[in-house]
Every structure is written in structure tokens, then in C-alpha cells.
């Protein structure tokens, strides 16, 4: 998993370099934001001449899903505020999926930290390598840009064990696909959360029988 994310880090590093960011700024962005889609959106908006506020807004929009991850992970994380604040920096798609797939709290906590830390290390390494190799890496030809979506689908498959979960995923995917051609970047991802309505409806019908 971490290796796949590191490969996408190479893509971001090259993209950041093309966008005019220095190596230090690229690494700082990867360490502090630590979100591939948000980082790429922010750099892309800035490269088009938008204001700093617009770049931040683009990144925040694509990172809003982390609020849902935080709610789902809250019961699994330790209670001391300091440790929760430290853990919050590692809340990403991969660490959340790895933790939520575990049957016990202790294993979930271990999976969260191991995944979050290793992904961060290789994300930073990939960013540095991509920045250094700008112009020498053909991202689309190598298929690196498709690595993260494919990996996330594999993680999601582990959660689709009941009809309600399947209904939620299918409805969310349909909403996102419908909005991609017409909505601003980030909106389809947020709107897809409405797919949970389908899952809840199916679950209520099942329990009412």
C-alpha cells in the first residue's frame, strides 16, 4: 500500500515542480497537508494564476472527507487529547481503511499508525524523487496516476460484506460519476456521501421485516 502511494508521490513531485514549487515547498506541502488529491488541486489552481485563498479552498474541499474518517475512527483512537492530535495528522484514506478493516481495537490502532507512518515516509520520498525527475517521468504512460484509485477500491472491497454497504457504495459512486462532468473538483466526492441514504433505507427495510 505504502509503495503504491509512494509511486503517486512521484507524480505529485513532478507536478509540483512543473507548477513552479521549490523542492522545500513541495516537501512541506506533502508533510503538512498529506493528501494527494488536495495537494494536486491546490498546486493546479495556483498554477492557473488563482489567488492563495482559492488554492487553499480547493485543498480544503477535497480534504473535507477526512471529517467523516475522523468520526468513524474516534472510537478506535486513544482518549488523551495530545495523542489524538498527533494521530489526526495521519488520517488519510489508507490509514482509515486499514484501521476500520480490523476486528479489534488494539489491532485497529496498530494498523492505523503503521499505515499512516509508512505511507507518509514513502509519500515524502516519492515527492522528492518526482521533483528531481521532472521531465523524465511520463505519469500517464506508466499508469501511476491510477494507482491510488485502484488501491482504494481494493480496500473498499473489504468493507462491502452486507447489502446495505453495497447499496451505499453503488449509490455514492453513481452520484459522483453523475456530477464529475458538471461540478467543480471536490464536489462529486463530497456529494457521494449522500449514498449512505440508500444504505440506511435498505437496512431499515431489512430490520423491519
Listing DSSP states for 89-150 in one string gives TT-SHHHHHHHHT-SSHHHHHHHHHHHHHHHHHHHHHHHHHHHHTTTT--HHHHTGGGHHHH
Cβ count near 57 (within 10 Å): 17
Report the C-alpha gap between 113 and 119 in whole angstroms.
Answer: 10
Q: Cite the beta strand spans of 74-198 per DSSP E.
A: none
Counting as low any pLDDT under 70, the low residues of the chain are 1-2, 45, 47-55, 57-58, 61-62, 137-152, 154-156, 158-159, 185-186, 189-190, 209
Residue found by looking up cell 515547498 in the block = 25
Q: For residue 198, what pLDDT is reported?
A: 87
Report the C-alpha gap between 36 and 13 in whole angstroms.
Answer: 10
**48 Ramachandran zone, left/alpha/beta (phi>0; psi -120 to 50):** alpha
Overall pTM > 0.85: no
Report the C-alpha gap between 195 and 174 in whole angstroms.
Answer: 8
Tell me which DSSP letter residue 184 carries: P
Domain boundaries, the chain: 2-159, 161-209
38-to-5, 23, 64, 92 alpha-carbon distances in Å: 14, 18, 10, 11
Q: For residue 142, what pLDDT is reported?
A: 66
**143 Ramachandran zone, left/alpha/beta (phi>0; psi -120 to 50):** left
Residue found by looking up cell 463530497 in the block = 190
Report the C-alpha gap between 169 and 28 in whole angstroms.
Answer: 34
Q: What is the pLDDT of residues 88-105, one digit of tens each?
A: 888 888 888 888 888 888
Report the C-alpha gap between 176 and 169 in whole angstroms.
Answer: 11
Amino acid at each position: 500500500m505504502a509503495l503504491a502511494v509512494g509511486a503517486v508521490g512521484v507524480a505529485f513531485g513532478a507536478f509540483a515542480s512543473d507548477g513552479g514549487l521549490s523542492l522545500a515547498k513541495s516537501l512541506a506541502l506533502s508533510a503538512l497537508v498529506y493528501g494527494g488529491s488536495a495537494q494536486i488541486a491546490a498546486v493546479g489552481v495556483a498554477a492557473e494564476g488563482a489567488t492563495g485563498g482559492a488554492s487553499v479552498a480547493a485543498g480544503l474541499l477535497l480534504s473535507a472527507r477526512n471529517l467523516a474518517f475522523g468520526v468513524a475512527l474516534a472510537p478506535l483512537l486513544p482518549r488523551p487529547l495530545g495523542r489524538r492530535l498527533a494521530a489526526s495528522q495521519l488520517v488519510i484514506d489508507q490509514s482509515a481503511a486499514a484501521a476500520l478493516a480490523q476486528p479489534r481495537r488494539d489491532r485497529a490502532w496498530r494498523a492505523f499508525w503503521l499505515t499512516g507512518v509508512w505511507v507518509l515516509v514513502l509519500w515524502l520520498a516519492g515527492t522528492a524523487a518526482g521533483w528531481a525527475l521532472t521531465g523524465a517521468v511520463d505519469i500517464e504512460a506508466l499508469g501511476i496516476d491510477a494507482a491510488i484509485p485502484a488501491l482504494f477500491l481494493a480496500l473498499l472491497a473489504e468493507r462491502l460484506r452486507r447489502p446495505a454497504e453495497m447499496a451505499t457504495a453503488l449509490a455514492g459512486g453513481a452520484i459522483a460519476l453523475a456530477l464529475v462532468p458538471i461540478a467543480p473538483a471536490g464536489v462529486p466526492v463530497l456529494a457521494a456521501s449522500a449514498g449512505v441514504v440508500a444504505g440506511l433505507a435498505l437496512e431499515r427495510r431489512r430490520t423491519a421485516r
